[in-house]
Amino acid sequence: MGCGVTKQNQKQIKKASFSVPAMRAALLIQRWYRQYVARLEMRRRCTWNIFQSMEYAGEQNQIKLYKFFSYLMDHFTPASSERNLIAHIFRENEVCRDAEWERYFNYKNIEVPEFYSGPHLNFPLTATNATELVEAFRTKQQLHSRYVLQLLVETWKLLRILPNINHVSTCHSKEITICGDLHGHLEDLLLVFYKNGLPSMETPYVFNGDFVDRGKNSMEILLILFAFLLVYPNDVHLNRGNHEDHIVNLRYGFTKEVLGKYRVHGKKILKLLQKIYSWLPLASVIDQKVLILHGGISDTTDLDIIAKVDRHRYVSTLRPPKQRKSSAKNKQSDQDSWDEDNMTRRRVRSMTYSSPGVSRPEVQRHSLQTLSSQVEEELRERRRRAGFSLSHGDLHNSLSSDSDSDPGENLETDAEDWKQVVDMLWSDPMPIDGCVPNEVRGGGCYWGPDITREVLEKHNLQLLIRSHECKQEGYEFCHNRKVLTIFSASNYYEVGSNRGAYIRLGPDLVPHLIQYQASRSTRDLTLRQSVGRTERSALRALREQLFAHKSDLISAFQEFDPEQTGLISLNHWATAMESVLQLGLPWRMLRSQLVNHTQDGKLNYQSWFKELAIMEPNTQLAHTNLLETLYKHHSNLETIFRIIDTDNSGLISFEEFRQTWRLLSSHLQIDISDEAISDLAQSIDFNKDGSIDINEFMEAFRLVDRTQQERSNSTLSGVHPHLLQSEHPTKTLLVSASPHFV
């Protein structure tokens, strides 16, 4: 236009070419559409919040599981009838020397049959082998267990000679590529290789942990990464993540994946992986200036200490390490006082840390706090009373399977070393200064910008790159751009939920970020469809939580309904939801997705619950308390069952099932009658053969959305509702729209 017209004014200039009514019409449409898009964006963010808080809630469950194990071990009295079960569960953890392990992992007897059409590996591995492996996995082939074991043994040998901290340099003008969490998403790794090139001397990589769990190709990702590590040991660097941990794997799907793909040798493979995990390096440093590790740091992080720890002692990082041998009596009192100190320190911290502007939604797991303190109380009492030599230390002795260590070192150094490792793998950044325990994850801490400054200065570093948290754009800077989170698993929560990203770092050490999103179907979905799909998934998960807390919720609603009208206001509904679930979610924003019918702005809560979910028709259970308990603890249950199922048949006996329930219910102090347990066992023995199929058990208790079920019943009969849900989401959404937009 003319000179002196600013951009602002240009917007307001009315074009003479269009008529005034047309202009007004256009304005109206724009206003309406922008509002629509904004609401979509709000829904997307809310959905994101749901997934995040559920993920953290899941991690809380993990802590409960550990407490349960401690409890189990403490009930290990010679006279106890549960002794067999417990021995049975932990039987596989014998202590052997490395040479014996090599014999156990001998793959040479495993024959590769003639009809095997998958990739063949020759050792020492070549670049061609590694490339062929990638290609084979891309075309969905599976590597034979003989080669798997061989590859893993070679990897194990190599990892043992690597230091705790990889030192990498960008000399020869090499740019280094850094990838974050992959979580079994093979498509993402292949996408990165496609965009960025395969690992080689010209294309060095750092993979920052969490290679496994959740996605369905964790095994393939590990095999690829290990293969390239073997071929290019100076150019491929792996950091350990918190999911490189066999106990975490039991819950988050990797164990299941391995046992499913390798029915005969799965157990051996898992055992070998346990050792490999413990030998993975803990961090990488580029040009002595950029620190890369999986979780983060704390106020006590010291790279000099880390460089010297015996990292392989930490088989599972969330458990304190094996104690060194010393007299039982001393150990016991030391252990007790250490526990006590730790407990009170933690408690005090969490009580004082109640400022309103907290970094995380305030997930105060009251039940967990009281639970853990109860259990700790119990442990101490029992020990003192029975004069047990089975202290914390010994139980880890029997649980851990690694070879021995030299005696005589003191307890304090162990605790310090352990804290260094846990902090590195589990911590998260927070926006305010300071360092507090990470109560949400149960390990590591939240660290602030002041800690970043301190630690970077102490070691003369300029940037910290970490992963561990899913980010919508695949990456995020914080702490004045001194900390960079990189996450490489796109569509992590659901198709369309987030992008993945990786970093390219040249000699100037300025990070360049490349984003991507795997899955063809994502690109074809409109914003609206992808939000809808992700949202449905999140709401489904949320509904399960609601159901699991039904009785608590009803009590909370009733408090707002003293006259027992059966109705409460929506405002009270939101308040009650938050006080019971403590997920820190914006309930008033989510209300329209969760509540369908209101009467004069009030909600009939009993009928709301009925609308919320229906069960699979297979199970008729009279004991609704049991059902709720099942839901509350179902992810832990599955993990426990898989541990019990030591021959990995997928089946456990009635007796094992009953014993587990009894132990769990006494530990959680829930009242469940033997009769109820027996009924439950019989009702889920679907083929009536006296054993319970774990998979069937878990499937039977998945909630089905009633509205989906009704629609699907009307359109397609005889098809399993779960299939319908996953395959035709858009169909059910657009039921009321015209066929044009299908």
Partner 1 sequence: MAEDRENAIISEVHKKISDAFDVFDHERNKTVDVREIGTIIRSLGCFPTEGELQEFITEIEEEEATGYIRFERFLPTMTKLLMERKFRPIPEDLLLQAFEVLDQEKKGHLGTEELTKYMTQDGEPFTQEEMEEMLSAAADPDKNVIFYKDFVSMLTVDDK
Active site residues: 243
- Secondary structure of residue 107 in the 3-state scheme: coil
27, 87, 95, 716: which one binds partner 1 (CB under 8 A) = 27
Q: DSSP string covering 272-315, please?
A: HHHHHHHHS-SEEEETTTEEE-SS---TT--HHHHHHS-GGG-S
According to DSSP, the β-strands at 483-486 and 500-505 are: unpaired
**Euclidean distance between CA atoms 301 and 453, whole angstroms:** 12
**Does 521 contact partner 1 by CB under 8 A?**
no
Question: Mask of contacts with partner 1, 390-429, x by CB under 8 A?
Answer: ----------------------------------------
Distance of CA 49 to the CA centre of its chain: 15
Q: Which is nearer to partner 1, 175 or 362 (CB)?
A: 362
11, 108, 520, 688: which one binds partner 1 (CB under 8 A) = 11
CB of 454 to partner 1, least distance (A): 20
**Does 520 contact partner 1 by CB under 8 A?**
no
Closest CA to 293 of 457, 490, 51, 455: 455
User: Which residues, 6 or more positions from 665, have their beta carbon under 8 angstroms from its beta carbon?
Assistant: 629, 671, 672
Task: Choose the binding region for partner 1 from 38-46, 504-512, 537-545, 677-685 (rule: CB under 8 A).
Answer: 38-46
Give the 3-state secondary structure of 46-60. Answer: HHHHHHHHHHHHHHH
The number of CA neighbours under 13 Å toward the Cβ of 156 is 22
Q: Cβ distance 613 to 221 under 8 Å?
A: no
**Euclidean distance between CA atoms 180 and 485, whole angstroms:** 8
Q: Cβ distance 445 to 425 under 8 Å?
A: no
Q: Which is nearer to partner 1, 169 or 521 (CB)?
A: 521
Task: Choose the binding region for partner 1 from 21-29, 65-73, 328-336, 479-487 (rule: CB under 8 A).
Answer: 21-29
Please give the residues from 261 up to 280 whose contact with partner 1 meets the rule CB under 8 A. none
Q: Which is nearer to partner 1, 22 or 201 (CB)?
A: 22
**Euclidean distance between CA atoms 157 and 124, whole angstroms:** 13
Please give the residues from 717 up to 736 whose contact with partner 1 meets the rule CB under 8 A. 734, 736
Task: Choose the binding region for partner 1 from 20-28, 193-201, 346-354, 453-461 (rule: CB under 8 A).
Answer: 20-28
87, 96, 112, 527: which one binds partner 1 (CB under 8 A) = 527
Task: List helix spans (H) across 405-526.
Answer: 411-426, 449-458, 520-524
CB of 552 to partner 1, least distance (A): 22
6, 12, 117, 564: which one binds partner 1 (CB under 8 A) = 12
**Does 661 contact partner 1 by CB under 8 A?**
no
Please give the residues from 427 up to 486 whose contact with partner 1 meets the rule CB under 8 A. 431-432
5, 9, 28, 370: which one binds partner 1 (CB under 8 A) = 28
Please give the residues from 552 up to 571 whose contact with partner 1 meets the rule CB under 8 A. 571
Place of tokens 């819950």: 251
According to DSSP, the β-strands at 165-168 and 283-286 are: parallel
77, 526, 606, 715: which one binds partner 1 (CB under 8 A) = 526
Q: Which is nearer to partner 1, 35 or 122 (CB)?
A: 35
Q: Which is nearer to partner 1, 30 or 618 (CB)?
A: 30
Task: Choose the binding region for partner 1 from 306-314, 335-343, 555-563, 584-592 (rule: CB under 8 A).
Answer: 584-592
CB of 616 to partner 1, least distance (A): 28
**Does 5 contact partner 1 by CB under 8 A?**
no
**Does 91 contact partner 1 by CB under 8 A?**
no
574, 615, 621, 644: which one binds partner 1 (CB under 8 A) = 574
Q: Which is nearer to partner 1, 12 or 327 (CB)?
A: 12
**Does 46 contact partner 1 by CB under 8 A?**
yes
**Does 586 contact partner 1 by CB under 8 A?**
yes
Closest CA to 92 of 356, 399, 381, 314: 399
From start to end of 54-97, where are the E strands? none
Please give the residues from 359 up to 378 whose contact with partner 1 meets the rule CB under 8 A. 359-360
Between the alpha carbon of residue 534 and those of residues 49, 51, 495, 547, the distances in Å are 12, 10, 7, 20
CB of 8 to partner 1, least distance (A): 8
Between the alpha carbon of residue 518 and those of residues 88, 253, 716, the distances in Å are 43, 21, 31
The number of CA neighbours under 13 Å toward the Cβ of 230 is 24
**Does 740 contact partner 1 by CB under 8 A?**
yes
Q: Which is nearer to partner 1, 35 or 370 (CB)?
A: 35
21, 113, 124, 617: which one binds partner 1 (CB under 8 A) = 21
CB of 181 to partner 1, least distance (A): 20
CB of 456 to partner 1, least distance (A): 20
Which tokens in the block code for residue 65? Answer: 């599981």
5, 37, 87, 348: which one binds partner 1 (CB under 8 A) = 37
At residue 446's C-alpha, the angle toward residues 441 and 451, to 5°, is 155
**Does 528 contact partner 1 by CB under 8 A?**
yes
158, 368, 509, 589: which one binds partner 1 (CB under 8 A) = 589
Is the alpha carbon torsion for 687, 690, 696, 702 positive or negative?
Answer: positive
**Does 592 contact partner 1 by CB under 8 A?**
yes
What end-to-end distance do the CA atoms of the chain give, in Å?
43
Task: Choose the binding region for partner 1 from 97-105, 253-261, 354-362, 503-511 (rule: CB under 8 A).
Answer: 354-362
Please give the residues from 688 up to 707 whose contact with partner 1 meets the rule CB under 8 A. none
User: Which residues, 6 or more positions from 473, have their beta carbon under 8 angstroms from its beta carbon?
Assistant: 498, 499, 501, 515
**Euclidean distance between CA atoms 738 and 295, whole angstroms:** 49
127, 328, 358, 509: which one binds partner 1 (CB under 8 A) = 358
Q: Which is nearer to partner 1, 211 or 487 (CB)?
A: 487
Q: Which is nearer to partner 1, 11 or 688 (CB)?
A: 11
Q: Cβ distance 437 to 483 under 8 Å?
A: no
Closest CA to 270 of 284, 288, 294, 253: 253
Binding residues for partner 1, rule CB under 8 A, total 50
The DSSP 8-state label assigned to residue 491 in this structure reads T
CB of 365 to partner 1, least distance (A): 18
Q: Cβ distance 231 to 203 under 8 Å?
A: no
Task: Choose the binding region for partner 1 from 338-346, 355-363, 435-443, 628-636 (rule: CB under 8 A).
Answer: 355-363
Task: Choose the binding region for partner 1 from 43-51, 218-226, 228-236, 497-505 (rule: CB under 8 A).
Answer: 43-51
Q: Which is nearer to partner 1, 37 or 112 (CB)?
A: 37
Task: Choose the binding region for partner 1 from 68-76, 227-235, 340-348, 520-528 (rule: CB under 8 A).
Answer: 520-528
Q: Which is nearer to partner 1, 16 or 161 (CB)?
A: 16
Closest CA to 174 of 226, 221, 237: 237
Task: List helix spans (H) across 460-569.
Answer: 520-524, 527-548, 550-559
Closest CA to 96 of 403, 512, 351: 403
User: Which residues, 6 or more positions from 84, have their beta carbon under 8 angstroms from its beta carbon?
Assistant: none
**Does 39 contact partner 1 by CB under 8 A?**
yes
Q: DSSP string covering 596-646, please?
A: ---BTTEEEHHHHHHHH-B--TT---S-HHHHHHHHHTHHHHHHHHHHH-T
CB of 53 to partner 1, least distance (A): 12
Q: Which residues bind partner 1 (CB under 8 A)?
A: 11-12, 15, 18, 21-39, 41-42, 45-46, 49, 357-360, 431-432, 526-528, 571, 574, 586-589, 592, 734, 736-738, 740-741
